[in-house]
Structure 1
Amino acid sequence: MHHRTTGTGANPLRRDTDRARTRLRAAFALTCLLAVITGFALGRAAWTDGQRTAEDIARHRHNVTATTIGETGYRAGDQPSSRPATVATATWHYPSQRPHTETIPVPAGTRNGDTVRVWVDDNGSAAAAPPSQADTALNAVGIGTGTLAGIVLTGGALVAVRLRIVDARSARAWESEWAGTEPLWSGRLRPGQGAGDD
């Protein structure tokens, strides 16, 4: 009896559709593992590239002291849903004694003659601050998580579709087999069968 219960396909109650379901579930588990590995690899690559880019930008950014020479105002944000920014005209010297005057974002409540810190590029023009480690990490986590979610959702959708096909095929096979077995099992007459027919 032992030889009947071991080995591939040894269980007589296990159908091809059962094996297909097992294979599909294993494929989904493998897809999840692949998603984790790929997401981690891309997130790590994004972190490395982001750090390199941030270091390169930081070499060309300089934090200088500027003095406001006008009253504060408001400028609309870049996006329609973003809040307006508080700005003021300010002046600073960079490089050396080269003067610059521009309208820059300032903290709310800044008055005429107050000093503020401003990031400038190598030419002394106002520029964005170099990306922080938090920005780089957030970008890397976003890329890694997005990749992982994309692969898992795509793999899950494909497996779900395939499982529906397998289930439909299994239901049709059961109906066909039951149509042939049920009259014999229940003792009911099949269509076209007489009382004395066997």
Structure 2
Amino acid sequence: MHHRTKGTGANPLRRDADRTRTRMHAAFALTCLLAVVAGFALGRAAWTDGHHSAVIVARHRHVVTATTIGETAHRAGDRPSSRPVTVATATWHYPAQRPHTETVPVPAETRKGDTVRVWTDDAGSAAAAPPGRADIALNAVALGAAAVAGIVLVGGGLVAVRLRTVDARSARAWESEWAGVEPLWSGRPHPGPGAGDD
């Protein structure tokens, strides 16, 4: 019996379908590993690029003190899922004595005549704050996770399709083999040409 189990694929009970299933499971495991590596690399690249971009943006952003000249109001967020933003009309001077008046986001408890901090660009117009480390990290993690999920889903889908094909082929082969073995095993006569003519 030793010679039958020696070497790869020597087990007489293992069928080609079994070997194919093993290869497919190994391929899926490898796909998962590659997905993690690709996701990590993509996330790291996104972190590096995001940090570099944030440094460049920060060089052209300035914080100024503005004075509100109107009552606060609520404005819808930039995205449908965003919460409403409290805004008010405010005035400030930047650069030097150049005046600006715009509607900017303010804290909810702001009243007319209060001072607020406003981010501006080099021309003095209201601008978004440079992205922080948390925003950059969140974007990098989201991008890496999306890459992992996409690769795993595609790889898993291809493996699942292949396994279904193997299972269907194996079932047909099993039925064919059983049709030849069942009469001998059960002792019943094998139906052949002319059977049932009596």
Q: What TM-score results when the alignment is normalised by the length of structure 1?
A: 0.93
Q: In the TM superposition, what whole-angstrom CA distance separates every residue of 1:46-90 from its partner, at most 9, and x where no partner exists?
A: 100000111111110011111112222233333345443222111
Aligned to 2:15: 15
- Which consecutive residues of structure 1, in runs of 5 or more, have no partner in the other structure? none
Counterpart residue identity of residue 40, structure 1:
F
Aligned to 1:122: 122
Matched ranges for 1:128-139 at <5 A: 128-139=128-139
Q: Deviation at 1:112?
A: 1.5
Q: Deviation at 1:3?
A: 2.0
Counterpart residue identity of residue 33, structure 2:
L
* CA–CA separation in structure 2 for the residues paired with 1:150 and 1:167: 25
The percent of aligned pairs where both chains have the same amino acid is 79
Aligned to 1:184: 184
Q: What TM-score results when the alignment is normalised by the length of structure 2?
A: 0.93
Give the length in aligned residue pairs.
194
- Once superposed, what is the RMSD of the aligned Cα atoms? 1.5
Matched ranges for 1:22-37 at <5 A: 22-37=22-37
Q: 1:183 to 1:100 in 2, by over 3 A?
A: same
Aligned to 1:109: 109
Q: In the TM superposition, what whole-angstrom CA distance separates every residue of 1:163-183 from its partner, at most 9, and x where no partner exists?
A: 111011111111111111111
Aligned to 1:64: 64
Aligned to 2:5: 5
Q: 1:77 to 1:3 in 2, by over 3 A?
A: same
* CA–CA separation in structure 2 for the residues paired with 1:190 and 1:67: 98
Counterpart residue identity of residue 58, structure 2:
A
Q: In the TM superposition, what whole-angstrom CA distance separates every residue of 1:86-142 from its partner, at most 9, and x where no partner exists?
A: 221111111122221111111112112110000000001000011011110000000
- Which consecutive residues of structure 2, in runs of 5 or more, have no partner in the other structure? none
SS at the partner of 1:33? helix
Q: Deviation at 1:148?
A: 0.2
Q: 1:169 to 1:35 in 2, by over 3 A?
A: same
Aligned to 2:96: 96
* CA–CA separation in structure 1 for the residues paired with 2:36 and 2:17: 29
SS at the partner of 2:125? coil
* CA–CA separation in structure 2 for the residues paired with 1:192 and 1:91: 99
Q: 1:192 to 1:105 in 2, by over 3 A?
A: closer
